[in-house]
A = this chain, B = another copy of it.
Amino acid sequence: MDNNQLEAYLKEKRLKINQKLEQILPIEEEPKIVHQAMRYSVFAGGKRIRPILAIIAYEISGGKGDAILMPACGLELIHTYSLIHDDLPCMDDDDYRRGRPTNHKIYGEAIAVLTGDALTALAFECFLGSSEAHDFSERAILRFVRRLTRAIGTKGLVGGQVMDIIQLSKDRKKESLEKTCQYKTGALIEASLECGALLAGADPRLLSALKHYGKGIGLAFQITDDILNVTGDKEVMGKSVHSDREHEKITFPELMGVEKSKKEALRCIEDAKVSLNDMGHRAWPLREIANYIVERKS
């Protein structure tokens, strides 16, 4: 397995996801400004990690066809909404994201808040599917959307951002920091894998293994993000570096240094990969993605 093979695999998935997102996001409809702002941030060159993980989990669990694309795209909309709100002046106050001005720098704060709100609503439309036809059973959709909803509330995405802002981790304990990361980044990544598995009707053992994998790579992902904020190149990253230090945020590199943080991230992905042992060759993209998460430069 080499990097080119993974790159080709991810590229193919990304293409399908982007085509579906093109269909999902309105263009010319009123009120145009918010639809333009939604598209501006969704098509800013994201890596589409969450929908890709959902699709892989779906396929590993025996799911067939493209029906997974719609709910998977919903995961990307949720991720994009959280970035737009996190970048707001009242939060992390970031001017750049993926090499372009952040949403509020272009559309103003009011529209940026509403764009996030609108993406959440549209995400749920993607999760729930149309009422006329849906490829999944009503039971599977409900299990999936319930799981997802828990992951984005105060015990997940929103809770993590709250803890990040109020620096619940200011007690400088590794456990508190891990919990913040788990809520802020891990919950949605874990849920993406679980959701793909749930929609394919995975058995509890496979579901649990994918969940464990998601937990590991989620933490590794956030640790690597924090490391890149210290060591990364602004040009390659397309966003501000050293902003965590400026905001006096407690992060892994701040708490234990860059080298130890790298080791911690590696430990997380090794742990994640162990949970793939029973899945054999079909889990190769998940193994490669785990490696990619800690090796990436942006």
The closest CB in chain B to the CB of A127 belongs to B149
Name the interface size band of chain A: 35 or more
Copies of this protein in the complex? 2
Once the chains bind, are B166 and A31 in contact (CB under 8 Å)? yes
Instruction: Report if A113-B90 is in contact (Cβ < 8 Å); known contacts: A158-B34, A162-B33.
Output: yes
The contact of A158 among B117, B130, B143, B158, by CB within 8 Å, is: B117
Main secondary structure of the interface of A (DSSP, over half): helix
Once the chains bind, are A154 and B118 in contact (CB under 8 Å)? yes
Once the chains bind, are B88 and A113 in contact (CB under 8 Å)? yes
Q: Is A159 an interface residue (CB 8 A)?
A: yes
Interface centre among A113, A125, A141, A143, by most chain B C-beta atoms within 10 angstroms, is: A113
**Which residues from 168 to 212 on chain A have a C-beta closer than 8 Å to any C-beta of chain B?**
168
A residues adjacent to B (C-beta < 8 A): 26, 29-31, 33-35, 38, 85, 88, 90-91, 108-111, 113-114, 116-118, 120-122, 124-125, 128-131, 138-139, 141-143, 145-146, 149-150, 152-154, 156-159, 161-163, 165-166, 168
- 7 residue pairs, one from A and one from B, having the closest CB atoms: A121-B153, A90-B109, A138-B138, A31-B162, A118-B158, A90-B110, A124-B149
